[in-house]
Amino acid sequence: MNSDSMALVVNDLEVEYRTKGRARVRAVAGVSLQVGRGEIVGLVGESGCGKSTVAKAVVGIERPAAGEVLYRGARVTPISRIGKRPKNQRNLQMVFQEPASSLNPRRSIGSQVADALKFATDLPQAKHEERVRELLDMVGLPKNAHRAYPHQFSGGQKQRACIARALAADPEVLVADEAISSLDASAQAQIADLLVGLVKKLDIGLLFISHDLAVIGEICDRIAVMYLGKIVELGRPEQIWFEPRHPYARALMRSVPRIGRDSFPESLEGEVPDPANPPSGCRFNTRCPFVMDKCRVQEPALIDVEQEDGGTVACWLQEPGAVVDLDTLATEREVASA
């Protein structure tokens, strides 16, 4: 895709933390992705792989150690200690995991949505109340919701209010970090459907971060699979779901129970390495069933796949001219070891 047409562009992003012992941990170790308007890009991976850190860096909460984040062509500046950000970035918004902790319990929902209008738009104050009601209606809240307080709402309704507040800033890209994971199953489906509808209606981009593979596969236009601070595969949902090219993506997708599957779901073996001391070579080599000597000494780059459905993958098995079907390779190895 042409990065010039993307509303959000992340280039070689690195984010580091210092532990109590002052060790340096690269939570994000060179992530690149793009989100266009009208597009939903999913970011998946096990807990601790760096997904939420990417989200925070994208909206300026975390300061990159290297790389850059571009929003509407301009480099995103990290938010200052007093909470200020450049005017041209005030409509870059994020929806967090816990709606209850994102809302002030002492203020009405309407006043909190109005805050975003004051902060991020030039809409005259005389029109704020009307706009607040429009936004609350847009996310499916009742007519008197602007007068209500957070404790009067369910978890799903609170998240709808948070989404309305984010939309008040008129964003071109919305970042949703585990925005449905704290909700019950019914509310999760409703909020996911709401986000899909808003992307289409408002022509905004959505970076949807989740560990729920079923939801990711259902609503996203593209999926990025992340492992230990890096993206190992990116492609269309049908390709990632049914024909993943990276062994980690394959194991991740096959761990999800599916109707009609003959055997029990597969699970990932071994422990996730310490991000403060990642393995040399491919970061997945300590858990990969297809590991080769080369994997242990040299890290593969994320390369374009020369096939009709496109996509990118970082695996030595998928070098140009030598693309390997992992299911076929697994079968051949089972036969050879029998």
Q: 47-61, 230-244, 269-283: which has the minimum mean pLDDT?
A: 269-283
The Cα 307–Cα 318 span in angstroms is 11
pTM exceeds 0.75 for this model:
yes
Report the amino acid identity of residue 308.
E
Residues in the chain, overall count: 338
CA distance 224 to 244: 11
The chain-wide mean pLDDT, for the chain, equals 90
What pLDDT score was predicted for residue 266? Answer: 54
Q: Which tokens in the block code for residue 214?
A: 């079923």
d(Cα 36, Cα 173) in Å, to the nearest integer? 8
Report d(CA 255, CA 267) in Å as an integer: 5
Instruction: Give the number of C-alpha atoms closer than 13 A to the C-alpha of residue 175, restricted to the C-beta side.
Output: 23
pLDDT tens for 275-308 read 888 999 999 999 999 999 999 999 999 998 766 6
Please give the pLDDT value at position 309: 66
Parallel, antiparallel, or unpaired for β 66-71 and 222-227? unpaired
Ordered by start, the domain boundaries in the chain are 245-262+270-337
d(CA 53, CA 87): 23
CA 320-46-15 angle, to 5 degrees, is: 80
